[in-house]
Structure 1
Amino acid sequence: MDGLSRALVDVTARLRIDDLPEAAIRAAEQSLLDAIGVSFAAAGKDAGSAAFAQIALAEGGRADATVFGSQQRVPAAAAAFANGAMAHALDYEDSIDGLPVHPHAQTVPAVLALAERENVSGDRLITAIAIGCDVTARMAAAAGDEMGRRGWYPPPILGALGAAVASAHLVGLDSAQTLDALSLVISQATASGEVKFSPHSDVRGVRDAFAAQAAVRSTDLAALGITGFERPLEGRYGFFSTYAGGAYDPAPILDGLGTRFWGTQVSYKPWPSCRGTHSFVEGALRLRGGIRIDAIERVELWGAPVNAMLAEPLESKRRPTRAINAKFSLPFTVASALVHGELSLASFTEPAMRDERVLTLADRIDFVADPSKDNPESMTHGEIVIVLTDGRRLHEDVPTPLGNPASPLGTERLRNKFVDCAAQAPQGMSRGDAERMANRILTLRSSTGLRIDLGEIVSARCGAASRAAYAQA
């Protein structure tokens, strides 16, 4: 569709917080809270993302923005690079059921870095986050599953586009400059689908570093007058031609653009593993009461064919050696939930991944691809059958896993998740300090026209002076 790119940027460039529905504003605040929390935990626990932070801090430069969990500032693109690596490192951030995206893992690190550098108001930050999520989801809905079929890994690629549009909005670029930023980020964004089949790779956890950094670089270059393409999305060799073979539907991009926001459809994760595992984990937790683990003969998991990647190659999924691979494993996550009655960050430590009770049960868990679930609406639909040694078959069907808007996690549980994650930050954070910080993040919209100390938030710094500031907020 000719004019698609221009139509997108013309709408997003003019949006202000007063244009957003209340539900979209609230969703952006909650997603920001969730994103910061899981990044705190990654800063304290994930060795892979620590390497990205180490590079950013070692290179130094202008003190624009803070690296998560530290009190050190680096250039904005470097901060987005370091913080982007933490966004998905623990696979605990939000998603949209039915779409192959984690819509805040790229946008939040990018816009936070620029917001701190530019010292913007809270309402501008929240508006940019809502835009980034919306654009990411709209692009995913337009492309369907064609990107994955062609060997691409959609989440960081699609997220880079949303992050670039959000970043351009945050720094005040006009529609022509936003078009340039979109063109420039397309020139940098990529991710190979091979990541799904490389169990020893770190890339699956840290991939969003590259997308977040690209969004910041693209925005800064566009602001300096570097021009892009006239039709970066729909052009002869534009985004959809390159990544989807020209097969796309423009309607999801344009329908309700500027009035309906995909942020309201975000699912927040109750467990730190791939969203595709959650319906099976939930079903396992429902069924485990009164069952002796040694009385389980086998477990069958029935789900969408797309989730076969969570059970292949089978041996490495039953015996994961890296936390990120364990989080993408149906046998391991379900076995851990059945054995321990929970799935938490502690479930993916090295000792936990060597737990013989879990591994023995994982050997008896198989995934079956169900053709009836081969559609976006059923991507996270799972059924679990536990066959006992006495012949009984226990069955649980979970069409919509916990955390979906139809089965919401709830604000209180989301706050508790933030508190738990903040305690894992490098310096740790007390419950009281974490709750005060959560309150501050969830009221950023009220900072209309007022500058906000993002460095204080991102660094997880909450001493006596900070507590006094929060008390006055």
Structure 2
Amino acid sequence: MDIARQYAKYATNLDYNDLPEEVILHVKKAVLDIMGNDIGGYEWMESGPSIVDGIRAINRGHKGATVLATGESMAPEWASFANASMAHSLDYDNHHAKGVIHAGGSVVNCALAAAEENNSNGRELMVSVVIGYEIACRLAMALGPHSSHEMGFHPTGTCATFSGSAIIGRNRKMSEDEIVNAMGLNGSQAAGSMQYVVNGAWNKRTHPGINTHSSFIAATLAQSGFIGAAEVFEGKQGFLQGYALRPIPENATKTLGKSFETLENAIKPFPLCRYNHQTLDLVIDYQKENNIDTSRVSSINIDMPKYGVQLCGSPIEQKRNPQSPVDAQFSGCFAVALALTEQKADMTTFTGALDRGLSDEFKRLMSITDIQQADDLDEIHPEFWPGRVKMVIDGEEVELYGKHMRGERERPMAIEEVQDKFRDLSPKHDEKNRKEVFDVINNLENASIDDLLEPLRKTS
């Protein structure tokens, strides 16, 4: 049985009662996390209004699903485009380590739009989210660690195109054949170039939005009888061969239906690139315990896996002198200086440091920071995302090492922490409305999609 057929069977047959309590709790946190990012991407990032304004013009007044940041209604394919683009704009959306993918922005927002379109209840919403995570994350692992990145592709922009068709198919009660055909068409839609890294462009932010929109197109055409490509994943010119240097096809379906990759999607406590999180976690904890005067620090060395250095440590002079919020998100030098000077790194702290203008001491800390690749870290990456920070303080070296980051399955964030993150991301929203959302999330299995979204529609 080919991969697409196995995915279609999984999407049509998964039942809410198949989900362990651990999965249900994690899905609730993941949904709340992404909803917060949807709002935060609009309220905090300069690209947010341009995305919504542009999509509003294209949408031409059609309705059917909620844009969470503004409360307005757009056609499901365009509402999901707006929401998913906003969700990834902050680089604060949940992350799957082994697949090196931010699947949540696409998965959750496609599920929300499909649920509104079809009046699905909270249980069906959670099942849809699990279907999306299980497919997108397994596809990312099947591409092989970083072998798609090396070809210039962004798995966050490619893999969830397929999972979106499964989500929509589930909510529309499409047949297996229709879902298979939709995925066959997705093979011609999956996209996401990493050229954005050259100038900090906004392309990356729209990748989840583009793929959710593509999923709605593919699913609708398949329902109309459209025939998609066969063997879209494993074929000689299929997705895995075309988008990866070292694909591992067996990862696409291995343990599907037996274990849950959903649980491996870590909720991010910091709005910076995931490769900076060990640095932030380690140094914030150290500073909270020791509260050293940063002027006593004479040198800083950060060890990362190879791909962390490529994204957050090279070229080093550029990383020591970030010129934009995107530059700062992808700078290990900025991350360690923020951790030392602020002892926290939520959205308010991150943007506040940039808005105030970086102090001379902040700039000095960045200037004395070096970042290098470490073989021992690469040996266990990407199954783990380890990091090491060495600081010379008053002539004595302090070494900090971490293997598991906060937010991962081994160190999960509590639902209360995710609620605090939601508050931080939605400063213009009323606390009463926030609490209504929190209450519905906590009882999502007994709620309707309108129960969940109505508090946010009040913002329009």
Q: Same fold (TM over 0.5)?
A: yes
1:269 aligned counterpart, secondary structure: coil
Are 2:397 and 1:387 equivalent residues in the alignment?
no
Displacement of 1:55 after TM fit?
A: 1.3
Give the structure 1 partner of residue 205 of structure 2: 205
Displacement of 1:231 after TM fit?
A: 1.0
Q: Distance in 2 between matches of 1:28 and 1:12?
A: 16
Q: Distance in 2 between matches of 1:92 and 1:24?
A: 21
Are 2:356 and 1:358 equivalent residues in the alignment?
no
> In 2 relative to 1, CA 85–22 (structure 1 residues): closer, same or farther, beyond 3 Å?
same
In structure 2, the gaps of 5 or more residues are: none
In structure 1, the gaps of 5 or more residues are: 463-473
Q: Is the 8 A contact 2:384 2:403 kept in 1?
A: no
Displacement of 1:378 after TM fit?
A: 5.8
Give the structure 2 partner of residue 186 of structure 1: 187
Are 2:367 and 1:348 equivalent residues in the alignment?
no
Q: Distance in 2 between matches of 1:442 and 1:222?
A: 35
Give the structure 2 partner of residue 293 of structure 1: 294
> In 2 relative to 1, CA 283–18 (structure 1 residues): closer, same or farther, beyond 3 Å?
same
Displacement of 1:45 after TM fit?
A: 1.7
1:68 aligned counterpart, secondary structure: coil
**1:401 alignment partner AA:** M
Spell out, residue by residue over 1:409-463, the C-alpha distance to the aligned partner (whole angstroms, 9 max, x if none).
12221222223323x2xx4222x4312211202322224xx5634542553649x
> In 2 relative to 1, CA 117–457 (structure 1 residues): closer, same or farther, beyond 3 Å?
farther
**2:278 alignment partner AA:** S
2:47 aligned counterpart, secondary structure: helix
**Equivalenced residues, count:** 452
> In 2 relative to 1, CA 385–123 (structure 1 residues): closer, same or farther, beyond 3 Å?
same
Give the structure 1 partner of residue 322 of structure 2: 320
Q: Distance in 2 between matches of 1:287 and 1:21?
A: 36
Q: Is the 8 A contact 2:316 2:371 kept in 1?
A: no
Q: Is the 8 A contact 1:186 1:239 kept in 2?
A: yes
**1:305 alignment partner AA:** K
Displacement of 1:135 after TM fit?
A: 0.7
2:338 aligned counterpart, secondary structure: helix
Q: Distance in 2 between matches of 1:30 and 1:286?
A: 24
Q: Is the 8 A contact 1:383 1:395 kept in 2?
A: yes
Which deviates the most, 256-265 or 292-301? 256-265
2:96 aligned counterpart, secondary structure: coil
Give the structure 2 partner of residue 258 of structure 1: 257
Give the structure 1 partner of residue 407 of structure 2: 403
Give the structure 1 partner of residue 168 of structure 2: 167
Q: Distance in 2 between matches of 1:111 and 1:220?
A: 15
Displacement of 1:169 after TM fit?
A: 1.6
Give the structure 2 partner of residue 367 of structure 1: 371
Q: Is the 8 A contact 1:164 1:181 kept in 2?
A: yes
Say what the alpha-carbon RMSD is for the aligned residues. Answer: 2.0
Q: Distance in 2 between matches of 1:377 and 1:26?
A: 25
Q: Is the 8 A contact 1:107 1:160 kept in 2?
A: no
Are 2:337 and 1:339 equivalent residues in the alignment?
no
> In 2 relative to 1, CA 455–408 (structure 1 residues): closer, same or farther, beyond 3 Å?
closer
Q: Is the 8 A contact 1:320 1:353 kept in 2?
A: no
Give the structure 2 partner of residue 98 of structure 1: 98
**2:30 alignment partner AA:** S
Q: Distance in 2 between matches of 1:14 and 1:279?
A: 39
Give the structure 2 partner of residue 24 of structure 1: 23
1:101 aligned counterpart, secondary structure: coil
Q: Is the 8 A contact 1:101 1:159 kept in 2?
A: no
1:152 aligned counterpart, secondary structure: coil
Give the structure 2 partner of residue 224 of structure 1: 224
> In 2 relative to 1, CA 329–91 (structure 1 residues): closer, same or farther, beyond 3 Å?
same
Displacement of 1:13 after TM fit?
A: 2.0
Q: Distance in 1 between matches of 2:255 and 2:383?
A: 24
Give the structure 1 partner of residue 6 of structure 2: 7
2:105 aligned counterpart, secondary structure: coil
> In 2 relative to 1, CA 401–71 (structure 1 residues): closer, same or farther, beyond 3 Å?
closer
Q: Any residues of structure 2 matched to 1:228-307 within 5 Å, and which?
A: 228-245=228-245, 247-288=246-287, 289-307=290-308
Task: State the percentage of identical aligned residues.
Answer: 22
**2:109 alignment partner AA:** P
Q: Is the 8 A contact 1:276 1:379 kept in 2?
A: no
Q: Is the 8 A contact 1:204 1:324 kept in 2?
A: no
Structure 1 runs (4+) greater than 6 angstroms displaced: none
Displacement of 1:58 after TM fit?
A: 2.4
Q: Distance in 1 between matches of 2:268 and 2:449?
A: 31
Spell out, residue by residue over 1:367-414, the C-alpha distance to the aligned partner (whole angstroms, 9 max, x if none).
1100222243465201111012x3100111111111111112122212
Spell out, residue by residue over 1:120-147, the C-alpha distance to the aligned partner (whole angstroms, 9 max, x if none).
2221111111110111111111221221
Spell out, residue by residue over 1:60-88, the C-alpha distance to the aligned partner (whole angstroms, 9 max, x if none).
23211121222321111111111121011
Spell out, residue by residue over 1:314-347, the C-alpha distance to the aligned partner (whole angstroms, 9 max, x if none).
2332222221221111110111110111112132
Q: Is the 8 A contact 1:112 1:454 kept in 2?
A: no
1:158 aligned counterpart, secondary structure: helix
Give the structure 1 partner of residue 50 of structure 2: 51
Q: Is the 8 A contact 2:440 2:451 kept in 1?
A: no
**1:330 alignment partner AA:** G
Displacement of 1:95 after TM fit?
A: 0.8
Which deviates the most, 347-356 or 214-223? 347-356
2:399 aligned counterpart, secondary structure: strand
Q: Is the 8 A contact 1:32 1:108 kept in 2?
A: yes
Q: Is the 8 A contact 1:304 1:379 kept in 2?
A: no
